[in-house]
Amino acid sequence: MSITSSSDFHVRLGRSDLQATRICLGTMTFGEQVDEATAYSILDRSVERGVTFLDTAEMYPVPPSAARYTLTESIIGRWIAARPGVRDRLLLATKVAGPARGYDWIRNASGDLTGQDIIAACEASLRRLQTDVIDLYQIHWPARNVPSFGSIYFDPAKEQPVTPIQPQLEALGKLVQAGKVKTIGLSNETPWGVHEFVRLAEQHGLPRVATVQNPYTLVNRSVDNALDETLFREQVSLLAYSPLAFGLLTGKYDEKGLEDDSRPGRMAMFETMKKQRWGRPESLAAARLYNQLARDHGFTPTQLALAFCYRSPRVASTIIGVTSVAQLDENIDAWSLPLSPEVLAEIDRIRWQHRDPAQ
């Protein structure tokens, strides 16, 4: 059942000492689509199958809400407490939320992320996760003005005074020095941001980021447009999120579109999801082409989308999100599927015509 015997199933994250599994279990469904008992079953199965890299965040579950804010971390913490010895087998990652982005329950709707905020958030996550140390602690999105979560263009008119990168790194350094965090990372970052975090760390003797967690999926390969070079040259590992594009790349919406509620899925269940980049008509149109390509070559759409990320030289670990043990097994089983040069060429041909619609 375990796939840890595969010689290439573990990877070093950046220049850190952390060894991660090439598949990471994302948990943003825990507490919303997934109840606590089912979450425990998924977590147990994940460890049984050898996927011991877990990713969560203080703002989870998603869609975000004041009522469920931090619930996912608490569920994981209770699971860890009920499984003596399991913590030693895990690489546990979580994230401090960036500026509020309309979420007025996060730090009283602050438009900033200060060093003090980072330390307080980390200590709260440690308590919820019922652990003494977080293996990988990440900034969920930048404090500064950047295009993200579906925005495409940088807009200088949106500049606001916020805490610079160096004080944030200094706060992360205090957490590392105190033994509360082993390694640090970023999420939803730009090439400039990754480079600046690395430059300042090296200049001032502060912790060096090991990872950046960004979307990487057939309908959003914006990483390939410059961030890939930055990550390669600075030796920062990519953690790929949304490999199935919120369900678009499972084929479930191919026939009836995003309004189809006959097959449960995030896009059909949550109206807010349809208004995001994954809900664009262009995203579904491109997904349908990739899904048909999968079928034409004897794969399921899910298998093709995951195999593409699993075998990409750009990706250190792929973050999968599931709502059942059966989905977890399906996602893990896709690890063993190779993609021929012909299939990869067809993928690039579709991308040339439908360039990153979910960027």
- The residues near 226 (Cβ < 8 Å, ≥ 6 apart) are 191
Query: Would you say the C-alpha torsion 257, 302, 212, 119 has a positive or negative sign?
Result: positive
Q: What angle do CA 341, 342, 344 make, to 5 degrees?
A: 65
- Rounded CA separation 106/19 (Å): 32
Q: What angle do CA 72, 73, 74 make, to 5 degrees?
A: 90
Give the residue among 33, 7, 32 at the shortest CA–CA distance from 22: 7
- The residues near 230 (Cβ < 8 Å, ≥ 6 apart) are 191, 194, 195, 236
Count how many residues are written for the chain: 359
Q: How far is C-alpha 159 from the geometric centre of its chain's CA atoms?
A: 26
Of the candidates 60, 69, 253, 290, the residue annotated as catalytic is 60
Annotation marks residue 69 as catalytic? no
**E strands along 232-353, which residues?**
237-241, 315-321
Written as six digits, the tokens of 319 are: 């973050």
Whether 92 contacts 128, CB under 8 Å: no
- Rounded CA separation 308/315 (Å): 10
Q: Is 259 exposed, middle or buried (0-12, 13-18, 19+ CB in 10 A)?
A: exposed
Written as six digits, the tokens of 254 are: 């191919």
- Rounded CA separation 118/168 (Å): 7
Beta strand 10-12 with 19-21 is antiparallel
What amino acid positions are annotated as catalytic residues? 60
